A = this chain, B = another copy of it.
Amino acid sequence: MRRVTTVTNTRELAHPAREEIRLEGILHALSDPMRMRVVRALATTEDELSCSHFVLPVTKSTTTHHFRVLRESGVIQQVYRGTAKMNGLRRADLDALFPGLLDSILEAASREAGRLGDEA
């Protein structure tokens, strides 16, 4: 029952620092179809998207799990905004660490989607 005086958010989320991000972790995170889907959606916009914005064919707890994997691997950043949890790609960090990598992977994903008829 601790009272909070600030208007802003209390719930904090642990993110790896830029230097802690590992290529291995990124590749692993993106090797799951659900997570790749999320990242591709995030890449299409500058805005942050809420978790509930995504409609994945899995339950909500599983979705939470995937977002956590993405956050802990350093691919996305998450912040609470009211009841919603907003998600954004860590573009600056990823580009600084591995220039061109994210774009190559996104391009590859897009290519494959097109090739397999998923479109987009």
B-contacting residues of A (Cβ < 8 Å)?
A: 19, 22-25, 27-28, 30-33, 36, 97-101, 103-105, 107-109, 111-112, 115
Contacts and interface: CB of A to CB of B under 8 A. Distances in A.
| Interface majority SS (helix, strand, loop, mixed), chain A | helix
Contacts of A115: 19, 97
Nearest to A104: B104
Nearest to A103: B104
A31 B36 CA distance: 14
Given A27-B31, A30-B27, A31-B27, A22 B112 contact: yes
Contacts of A98: 104, 107-108, 111-112
Contacts of A104: 98, 100-101, 103-105
